[in-house]
């Protein structure tokens, strides 16, 4: 199916179904997806889809300059963003200057739109790095992925590209001591002849158990909205998402559903 790459460092603002009016920041190349996961549902396609492109990360100074230009223009037009969101063509926390860029962004936010939040959408695989951990603690919405409570499901759905264990990931998430939001993409369908479904009773029960251990301040529950790099994946019905959200609420954690 058709997928896309973000072709700018700063993009939007766009209306996010989870975050409101969001000004996006892409710290990855504009001509290649680079990620520590290779999710079968990713709107940017697979990591190898753009293998012939020459990847070049934007420099810290370039990000700061372009972000200030956009924020200054929005200020002049009295168009405030609800949130400045780090997302883009892969995993933002792999940028070598991620921590410094977060500091720059906080300063620019405070200068132009002090009421705006700063959000990072991350798969949490780099949270073992002290600099990444400390940077994520500073942002308003530290949104970290956990797509299942079963490692085999994560390996099928998210396809980790480096050394990975679910227990290691959960240990890193617990270190935030509640200063995080868990995001979970629920998907059904087939991939490479295997059934994909992280809404099963077994998956959800294991996932809820991990949520109790991690203790996030909230959980974002959503499903496919855009094209995916493979055929055969289906949106999970809104009613099913709401039923899962109710189970999250029953263990004392607020849940937000985007169908």
pLDDT of residue 74: 96
Domains of the chain: 10-258 (3.20.20.70)
Kindly report which listed range (114-118, 232-236, 255-259) carries the lowest average pLDDT score: 255-259
Q: Shortest CA distance to 226 belongs to which of 35, 44, 37?
A: 44
Whether 19 shows a pLDDT value over 80: the answer reads no
CA angle 33, 173, 218 (to 5 degrees): 90
Whether 27 shows a pLDDT value over 60: the answer reads yes
What span, in angstroms and rounded, lies between the C-alpha atoms of 136 and 52? 32
Q: How do residues 40-93 score in pLDDT, each as one tens digit? A: 999 888 887 665 556 789 999 999 999 999 999 999 999 999 999 999 999 999
Percent of the chain surpassing pLDDT 70: 95
> 2 falls in which pLDDT band (50, 70, 90)?
low
Identify the bridge partners of residue 184 per DSSP, sorted by sequence position.
Answer: 221
Q: How do residues 176-211 score in pLDDT, each as one tens digit? A: 999 999 999 999 999 988 899 999 999 999 999 999
Q: How do residues 215-251 score in pLDDT, each as one tens digit? A: 999 999 999 988 888 889 999 999 999 999 999 999 9
Q: How do residues 132-151 score in pLDDT, each as one tens digit? A: 999 999 999 999 999 999 99
What span, in angstroms and rounded, lies between the C-alpha atoms of 116 and 114? 6
Q: Is 151 helix (H, G, I), strand (E, B) or coil?
A: helix
């Amino acid at each position: 199916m058709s997928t896309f790459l973000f072709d700018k460092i700063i993009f939007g603002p766009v209306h996010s179904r989870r975050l409101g009016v969001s000004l996006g920041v892409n710290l990855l190349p504009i001509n290649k997806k680079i990620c520590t996961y290779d999710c079968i549902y990713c709107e940017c396609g697979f990591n190898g889809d753009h293998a012939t492109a020459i990847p070049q990360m934007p420099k810290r100074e370039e990000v700061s300059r372009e972000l200030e230009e956009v924020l200054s223009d929005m200020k002049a037009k009295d168009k405030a963003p609800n949130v400045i969101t780090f997302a883009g063509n892969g995993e933002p926390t792999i940028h070598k200057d991620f921590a410094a860029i977060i500091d720059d962004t906080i300063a620019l936010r405070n200068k132009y739109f002090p009421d705006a939040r700063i959000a990072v959408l991350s798969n949490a695989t780099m949270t073992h790095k002290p600099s990444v951990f400390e940077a994520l603690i500073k942002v308003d919405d530290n949104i970290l992925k956990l797509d299942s409570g079963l490692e085999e499901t994560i390996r099928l759905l998210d396809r980790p590209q480096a050394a990975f264990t679910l227990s290691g990931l959960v240990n890193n998430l617990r270190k935030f001591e509640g200063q995080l939001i868990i995001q979970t993409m629920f998907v059904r369908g087939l991939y490479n002849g295997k059934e994909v479904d992280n809404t099963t009773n077994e998956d959800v029960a294991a996932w809820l158990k991990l949520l109790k251990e991690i203790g996030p301040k909230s959980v974002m529950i959503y499903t496919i909205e855009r094209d995916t790099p493979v055929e055969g994946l289906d949106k999970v019905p809104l009613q099913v998402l709401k039923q899962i959200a109710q189970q999250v609420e029953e263990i004392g954690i607020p849940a937000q559903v985007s169908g």
